[in-house]
Each structure stands twice: as structure tokens, then as C-alpha cells.
Amino acid sequence: MMELAILNSEGKETGRKVVLNDSIFGIRPNDHAIYLDTKQFLANQRQGTHKSKQRGEIAGSTRKIKRQKGTGTARAGSLKNPLFRGGGRVFGPQPRFYGFKLNKKIKQLARKSALSYKASANNIIVLEDFSFEAPKTKEIVRMNNNLNILNKKSLYVLREQNKNIYLSSRNVQGVEVVTANELSTYNIMKASTLVLVESAIDVLQSTFENM
């Protein structure tokens, strides 16, 4: 079991500690599972709306542009021919879905592996629950400064959505806020420091135990 001190928003220890489950934060990481889950995440972000017109979709006359024989050049029957400027495109991109199916157990293993990497590198901070009365960017900046992660990519993991915290962090470069249920392998690996709000740890551990 791994124990971490719980810090307050001032960056000081509260005197309390939290125990991280080794079955989630202390496994032997599987790099290939991380690769597959990250690949699927990025593939799902692609719109896949790219489209080019083939010769059958080009607007224009269908008349034969020159006689069949006697010109000394190749036969040509339409301005829509891909060989001509303004003609259709051969084998051009068509709308498609880039996502692919990935086994749930692989996704679970990938997230556990990512969390274990952060834990082994001491890049996890446990923060007591906090909230803002109103959206204030300077509050997040001040908190990052107190936690010594001001110029690092940080990922705050909350138990549930908090509009004021989200709006406060939106304009701070390198800071991202997600809920425990939204946590992905890509987000974990992209962040330099994982900031777990105390109440979010129970959600994480119960989620993985039920999977």
C-alpha cells in the first residue's frame, strides 16, 4: 500500500494521509495497453468529414471535348477526367469513422498502468476538497504556485463537476480539470502532475474494483 499526505490549498500537509490501492496504483505497467487506449482515444477525436469529388460528382458538360482519332494525343471523352485540371480526384478521401473497438479490460489495464507510472514517479498530489465561490483564474494560479506545479502540465481530478473550478482553470495554460469518471489514459499520461482531490480517490478505487 502507498500512503500519501493530504495537502490543503496552501500546499501544506493537513496531518491526514490517504492509502492508495496497490491493485490500481502499484501494478506492473503494460505499455502496449497504454498505446492501444491512447490510440483509440485520439482516433475517436477525429471528425472524419474529409471529402473530395470523384469524376461522377463534378459539375460540368458531358460533351466529348475532341474527336476520337487523328489528334496525335490520347483519347479524351470528358472534362471531368482526373487527368484534366478541374476534373475529379482519383481515390480521394471519403467520410469515414476512425475509431475502433477496444476490449474493456484492456482499457482498464491501460488506466491502471498510467496511474501506476505516475505513482512510481511521485507525480501524484492528494488535495483536500476545495471549491471557489466564483470563477477566479488567479485562485488556480495561486494554488498551483503553492503546490509547486505552476509551470507544469497538471490534471485536477474531481469527484463531480464543479463549474467554478472549471471556469477558473480554463484560461490557465497547462491546467486541465476532469471528473473521476472522465479520467482517460491519454489525459493521465499527458499531465506531468496528477492532482487527485481527496473525495475523487474513493470514486476511482470503487470504479476499478467494480470493473
Domain residue spans in the chain? Answer: 2-47+100-209, 52-92
Specify the range with the lowest mean pLDDT, choosing from 17-21, 100-104, 203-207.
203-207
pLDDT of residue 184: 94
pLDDT of residue 210: 60
Count Cβ atoms below 10 Å from residue 175 Cβ, excluding itself. Answer: 23
3-state percent breakdown (helix, strand, coil) of the chain, nearest 5: 35, 15, 50
CATH 3.40.50.620 fits 2-47+100-209, yes or no: no
pLDDT of residue 207: 83
Distances (CA, A) of 93 to 4, 35, 42, 44, 64: 51, 26, 19, 18, 28
Can you give the pTM of this predicted structure? 0.84
Q: How far apart are CA 45 and CA 61, in angstroms?
A: 40
Count Cβ atoms below 10 Å from residue 46 Cβ, excluding itself. Answer: 12
Mean pLDDT of 99-112: 95
pLDDT of residue 211: 57
Tell me the per-residue pLDDT of 125-167, one tens digit each, with 9 for 90 and over: 999 999 898 999 999 999 999 999 988 999 999 999 999 999 9
Tell me the per-residue pLDDT of 6-25, one tens digit each, with 9 for 90 and over: 999 898 999 999 999 999 99
CB–CB of 109/30 below 8 Å? yes
pLDDT of residue 200: 93
Percent share of the chain, pLDDT over 90: 82
pLDDT of residue 61: 86
Tell me the per-residue pLDDT of 181-204, one tens digit each, with 9 for 90 and over: 999 999 999 999 999 999 999 898
